[in-house]
Amino acid sequence: MHKKISFAGPSITQKEIDSVMDGVKNGFYETFDQHVKKLEKAICDYLGRKYAIATHTGTLALHTANKSLGLKAGDEVICTDFSWVATAYSILYTGATPVFVDIDPDTWCIDPKKIREAINEKTKAIMLVHSFGVPAEMDEIMQIAKENNLMVVEDACPALGALYKGKKVGSFGDAGCFSFHGAKIAVSGEGGMFTTDREDVFEWAKLYSSMGRTDSGATFWSDYVGYQYTMANLTASLALAQVLRIEELVAIKRQIFSWYDERLSKIAGIKIVREKPDTRANYCYPSILLEDNISTERDFVLSTFKENNIHARPAFPRMSRFPTLEMRYDNPVATEVEKRGISLPSAANLNEEDIDYVCTTLKNVIKYK
């Protein structure tokens, strides 16, 4: 049996170990939040953003964003139908309603044409995802937002280090959010980051992420119903070391992607999800679609992988189908991807021989019509 091929997992070096040791030794008393502060600054510096707040998870960063932008019951948010459910729930938490639209077949990110069609007088914001670390069409999305006076929230949870025309994703919208979950490109186990350039939104985000506390009254005073969302300093000590290595981490993912690309682009019926020109994906989760001429079921491919000690993932089921939402949308591209899409292993410990093994296993299981 071949060694276990993990789907995801970080690159941990002495730098991370030293930073966590520093966190555990020196992250208390007067310096109880020093790593959180350093992490928020490192993110602002990297993105070219003004403000950041570290949170327990990416989901909570998204909730902080939607709440601080003032979304509420009666508002509609145009949202991609293809994402991890946290994207949609972070809208629901505010009382607003997600309106699900289809994706671009090449990037699996929200299709700007479909955004235009979904706009009505209740629409307040666009929630996009840089799916699996591939940048969404930011020029067009920002243009649509401007023309229609809509806010933009970027779910960049898996996309730290991705670039759109040289600018970091997560730095375009009214808010941009990231995750440091253990399966992302930069990890802290659980962790998230809210970012914005808007001072007013940042002030609300500080209140909401820290129990609505203000300086207006006594110590422990609270003026708003807030949440306890801020990141633990020890967690930040790990995330900090990872963020300082982000270019190196992107290079690892892109190397793995290119090993896949060299092998899979030669196989008929496999469509590889790629960055568009003038963008840089971080290829957090390299993904493929089994095209129509392939008769093998996607789930049979996944079970064959499993038998061979390879951990791959099916693409996301459409969020609009969940019983918690029970909404009816056609979204044919996302429907095709949910049935025939696969994210391939890209853990940081994989080498070229491992990728070769995954590709050979895939090639051997595929049958054609």
- Could you list the residues that contact ligand PLP (CB under 6 A)? 57-59, 83-84, 86-87, 129, 155, 157-158, 179, 181, 192
- Residue 88 CB, shortest distance to ligand PLP, in Å, is 10
**Residue whose C-alpha is closest to residue 74's, from 124, 2, 130:** 124
Q: What is the number of other CB atoms lying within 10 angstroms of the CB of residue 337?
A: 27
**Residue whose C-alpha is closest to residue 335's, from 100, 87, 135:** 100
Q: Which C-beta is closer to ligand PLP: that of 129 or that of 270?
A: 129
Q: Which C-beta is closer to ligand PLP: that of 279 or that of 361?
A: 279
- Residue 239 CB, shortest distance to ligand PLP, in Å, is 11
Contact 155, 135 (CB under 8 A): no
- Residue 85 CB, shortest distance to ligand PLP, in Å, is 8
**Residue whose C-alpha is closest to residue 78's, from 151, 137, 135, 143:** 151
Q: Which C-beta is closer to ligand PLP: that of 158 or that of 161?
A: 158
Q: Where are the alpha helices (DSSP H) in 108-167?
A: 112-118, 138-148
Q: Which C-beta is closer to ligand PLP: that of 87 or that of 242?
A: 87
Residue 50: which residues within 8 A CB-CB, separation 6 or more? 44, 196, 197, 199, 202
- Residue 197 CB, shortest distance to ligand PLP, in Å, is 21
**Residue whose C-alpha is closest to residue 259's, from 185, 345, 163, 342:** 345
Residue 210: which residues within 8 A CB-CB, separation 6 or more? 226, 228, 229, 230
In the complex, residue closest to ligand PLP by CB: 58
- Residue 279 CB, shortest distance to ligand PLP, in Å, is 17
Q: Which C-beta is closer to ligand PLP: that of 83 or that of 171?
A: 83
Side-chain half-sphere CA neighbours of 90 within 13 A: 32
Q: What is the number of other CB atoms lying within 10 angstroms of the CB of residue 55?
A: 28
Q: Which C-beta is closer to ligand PLP: that of 187 or that of 333?
A: 187
- Residue 130 CB, shortest distance to ligand PLP, in Å, is 8
- Residue 216 CB, shortest distance to ligand PLP, in Å, is 31
Contact 182, 10 (CB under 8 A): yes
Q: Which C-beta is closer to ligand PLP: that of 219 or that of 228?
A: 228
- Residue 152 CB, shortest distance to ligand PLP, in Å, is 15
Q: Which C-beta is closer to ligand PLP: that of 107 or that of 361?
A: 107
**Residue whose C-alpha is closest to residue 9's, from 176, 231, 256, 232:** 256
